[in-house]
Structure 1
Amino acid sequence: MNSKSLATIAIVAGCASFNVSIANAESNGWPQFQGPDRTGVSGETGLLRKWPKGGPKELWSLDVGEGFGGASVVGSDVYILDRTDTQTEVLRCLDFRSGKEKWNHTYSTKQVKLPHAGSRSTPTVDGDYVYSFGRLGNLVCVNRKTRKAVWNHDVLTEYKLGETARWGFSSSPLVVDDIVIVPALNGEIGYLLGYHKRTGKLAWKVDGAGGAHYVSPQLYEIAGRKQILTYGRLSGSEGRYTSVDAKTGKVLWRWDGYFNKIMIPMPTNMADGRLFVTGGYGCGSVMLRIDRRGSNYSVKELYRIDAEGAQMHPAILHEDHLYINWNTNENLRGDKKKTGGLVCLDPDDGKILWRTGMNPNFERGNLIFADGMIIILDGELGELALVDPSPGGYNELARAKVFTKLRKKGNKIWAPMALTDGKLIVRSQNELKCLALR
């Protein structure tokens, strides 16, 4: 497949080490979905453990279109993917200090009306380039210095996939060494694609990766080897995890033992060969162990939690315990809310040590970890909380209302947060805000 090259550029040699490729001196930012290594864990220190009256200081606020796409931050630049109408997507570059727009790259897409308006994904910054992946499968590489597109792909059209899955594309691009990785899928079938990041030429394509999913591919070190993992639905009752080598696209292993009709979060790596899998829609959660002998892998299910799980965001691992926003469509109303909220789970046996249930519930807001604390946003109330994570019980350190332009219900504040330089960026359905946490 030919890339749509918009400029002539040199092919940059790959990194010596096989890792997620992030810009040298700017690597301490939040350059992609869920942070530097896509785990939602930040190396920030010196954060406030109590907030002033009225909450953390608001540094700036910006009106944005509806959407769920989070921000990436590198140096003085903030990137978000926005959508202004049914057929226009906008990659915006904002000033981190003021929130003012520096520039944007706007392009047209097919005119398709999907449930839930707006963007879905977070741009990925790699050196002098930023990559965005729109909700209709438009992958765009933009030069941060020239502010011009270098290449682009419309994966839905190029792979003759017809219509998107029901909710469109939600995956954020993953850059590993010289390769940028995204899925191409519809409601039935799907591929995992690896493109040369500077030229846009196809490096590899993995068949049989499954369709109808909303996960972002993730780099893991599993059983002593770094590999890319993705999930896809094979049919109305079957799903598949596929692990591949990022450089070659060679399939390392597959596992078809977990089904989720609308999969969103990727597994949490326990760093000892185990992966904690969770999802919403009553599909439950599973702990896996992956072992390797030479080139052969085995996948074993250690335990399963029926029906319960996290619909939107992956679990946070801290000091041998998992902290999870345990909410899905199934437990957000009435007495069922008692089964949700923030939970602490023992990963050895799957036992839930405590759960906040109805109060606080947090709906389906994002959570990240920094400086020994969980930072969690209530997806309905627009409130931000600081939590001291402990298996002994829920301990809230601070809470503040950070969004006030809200509906009576159905606020859907689900976008992932971004944290760097003591500043937190949060997004609702109509605002992007920067808050001082230090």
Structure 2
Amino acid sequence: MSDSIAVKLSASVSSVIALVCLTWWLSYNPTARLATHIPGMDNRPTESEASKLRAAEADQVRIGEFLETYASTQPPALRGEWPRFRGSKFNNISTEPVRLASTWSEQGPKQLWSVALGEGHAAPAVADGRVYVLDYDEQNKGDALRCFSLADGSELWRRWYRVRVKRNHGYSRTIPAVADGYVVTIGPRCHVMCVDVESAELKWGIDLEKELGTETPLWYTGQCPLIDDSIAVIASGGNALLLGVELATGTIAWQTPNPKGYQMSHSSVMPATLFGKRMYIYCAKGGIVGVSAEEVDRGELLWESPLWNPSVMAPSPVILPDGRIFVTGGYGAGSALLQVTEKNGGYAVDELMKYKPDGGMASEQQTPIFYQNHFFAILPKDAGVLRKQLVCYASDDITTPVWTSGTTNRFGLGPYLIADGKMFVLDDDGVLTMLEVSTTAFKPLAQAKVMDGTDAWGPMALAGGRLLLRDAHKMICLDISAPSS
């Protein structure tokens, strides 16, 4: 009897428990403790923030990240070099003993090779039989330091990194510097890279925008790096006016303070010796400056002046032995002649003259050549009746030309250099002109169309009788040496 009651009681308890559980289950709201949040309140980024994060990730630059090699053998070590912007002596004058031809056939000099390049104006440096160009790879969206054989144009290797650059009169601009077993480059958006010349090993890189607060110029970086005493000298603007970086380690050896906030221009730093003092001279946005290049006080600001401060400038300063400095720029800037003097243990800067583009010696893009106490250049498009003509001015009268090339010989924004008593000038359309270097008259020797010539503005390079030229899309190598006797 008791067992029967126990069974019935157990069944009743089980029924009650089951009923309670069923009631709880039916009444339970699983979302009762969930809080309703608007987007952004659940620790997720908003769409705007997510977009910025994606952009930042895409814009993250790993300088020198990739290496591609194409040849296992070393190129022939041909004679001659053009190791930096404006050549070995920073003056666009070759002093190599190679004799050059004085005339050409109608087809022009023999083309030895050609290579396709990304759209731009970056020009080559040459050393030890190698040609270095900081190209922009439009397909992979990256700056690419490309190394070619001077002998045949074959590509040996390329060291590159991804960086987003919008087309703006092409992409690339600058010329590498080669010295002491290293090659240094500056990309369109201020990325500095140092690479071993033979192995292509990445040594170091600096993002000037992010690390030094540099403001990239309007048409990207036009400044070409300078190597001096195993130091890469860069005019960064931003947190430092100039800085020196050890080639071997990437350590910043010195910085020039920048309290006045000078900014990077399209111009390049030029080394000079004035009054027995080695210095770096630079046309910044904000003014022209002289910084010590001596070991004892390297990086110290020696002098500065606001007397030359156009909004846009590409040509570099031309320094004369007597302390005069010729500066020029495009877009209406004209030119100025400044005088640096020693004064009271320091330096003073005075303006000797200043004029508009039609007032005398001027240049829009290329840096004029100073040779035999005369200036040679192509006048800018706003120079009046002499626009785009090749001209020669005596250094003691830069407002009256000694000679001009005439209205039938206009050259646009093209480059030029001097070698073996001759001057070589490339016009916008790819026509190469050779003339005798004369301080009395325009004396053309030969002329030929050698390139298609779309925006053929990149500076020339000459090494061992081989002339390297480029237009917006292609680089060619011409043999301009004299025939062997």
Is the contact between residue 78 and residue 464 of structure 2 (CA under 8 Å) also seen in structure 1?
A: no
- Residue type of the alignment partner of 1:60: W
Q: Measure, in 2, the Cα distance between the counterparts of 1:77 and 1:359.
A: 38
Counterpart for residue 404 of structure 2: 355
Q: Given the superposition, is the C-alpha separation of residues 289 and 59 from structure 1 closer, same or farther in structure 2, using an over 3 Å criterion?
A: same
Q: Of 216, 231, 239, which residue of structure 2 is paired with 1:179?
A: 231
Residue 185 of structure 1: how far off its partner (Å) = 4.2
Matched ranges for 1:186-205 at <5 A: 191-205=241-255
Q: Deviations over 1:401-435 (max 9, x none)?
A: 1103x5xxxx2211010001011000111111000
User: In structure 1, how many angstroms separate the alpha carbons of the residues matched to 2:250 and 2:430?
Assistant: 39
- In structure 1, C-alpha distance between the alignment counterparts of 2:344 and 2:85, rounded to whole Å: 32
> Would you say 1:271 and 2:321 are equivalent positions?
yes
Which position in structure 2 is the counterpart of 1:232? 284
**Letter paired with 1:267:** P
- Report the counterpart of residue 237 of structure 1 in structure 2: none
Other-structure match for 1:243: 290
Q: Distance in 2 between matches of 1:138 and 1:295?
A: 38
Q: What is the CA distance between 1:114 and its match in structure 2?
A: 4.8
Offset from partner CA, 1:136-185 (integer Å, 9 cap, x none): 11111101232110111111111234x62221111111011032111224
Alignment root-mean-square deviation, CA: 2.3
Contact 1:93 1:103 in 2 (8 A): yes
Q: Superposition pairs for residues 7-406 of structure 1, below 5 Å? A: 28-44=80-96, 45-85=98-138, 87-109=141-163, 111-161=164-214, 164-185=216-237, 191-206=241-256, 207=258, 208=260, 210-211=262-263, 213-234=265-286, 240-246=287-293, 247=295, 248-293=298-343, 295-308=345-358, 309-328=362-381, 330-331=382-383, 336=384, 338-350=386-398, 351-378=400-427, 380-404=428-452, 406=453
* From 468, 474, 485, the counterpart of 1:425: 468
Q: 1:372: how far off?
A: 1.1
Call closer, same or farther: CA 1:437–1:26 in 2, change over 3 Å. closer
Q: In the alignment, what sits opposite 2:459?
A: 416
**1:436 pairs with 2:457:** no
Give the 3-state SS of the residue equivalent to 1:184 in structure 2: coil
Three-state SS of the structure 1 residue aligned to 2:235 is strand
Structure with larger Rg: 2
Equivalent pairs counted in the alignment come to 398
Residue 98 of structure 1 aligns with an amino acid whose one-letter code is D
**Range 52-61 or range 306-315, more displaced:** 306-315
* AA at the equivalent of 1:78: V
Listed as ranges, the gaps of 5+ residues in structure 1 are: 7-24, 235-239
- Does the 8 A contact of 2:78 with 2:150 survive in 1? no
* TM-score between the two structures when normalised by the length of structure 1: 0.85
Structure 1 residues 289-333: Cα deviation after superposition (integer angstroms, max 9, x where no partner): 2222574112222223333420111211222211111124x35xx
Contact 2:378/2:390, CA 8 A, preserved across alignment: yes
**In the superposition, relative to structure 1, how do residues 250 and 71 fare at CA in structure 2: closer, same or farther (>3 Å)?**
same
Unaligned runs of 5+ in 2: 1-61, 65-76
8 Å CA contact 1:279–1:310 kept in 2: the answer is yes
Answer 1 or 2: higher relative contact order, Cα 8 Å, separation at least 6.
Answer: 1
1:212 touches 1:262 (CA, 8 Å); kept in 2?
no
> TM-score by structure 2 length?
0.77
Deviation at 1:36, TM superposition (A): 0.5
SS at match of 1:254: strand
Q: Could you say if the C-alpha distance between residues 178 and 348 of structure 1 is closer, same or farther in structure 2, counting changes exceeding 3 Å?
A: same
Q: Aligned pair in 2 of structure 1 residues 210, 190: CA closer, same or farther (>3 Å)? A: farther
1:329-370 Cα offsets, whole Å, 9 max, x none, are x35xxxx45433111112112222222243211101011111
| 1:124 CA drift (Å) | 0.7
Deviation digits for residues 74-113 of structure 1 (CA, Å, limit 9, x no counterpart): 011100010012840100000000000001101122x242
Instruction: Provide the C-alpha distance between the structure 1 equivalents of 2:357 and 2:182, rounded to a whole number of angstroms.
Output: 41
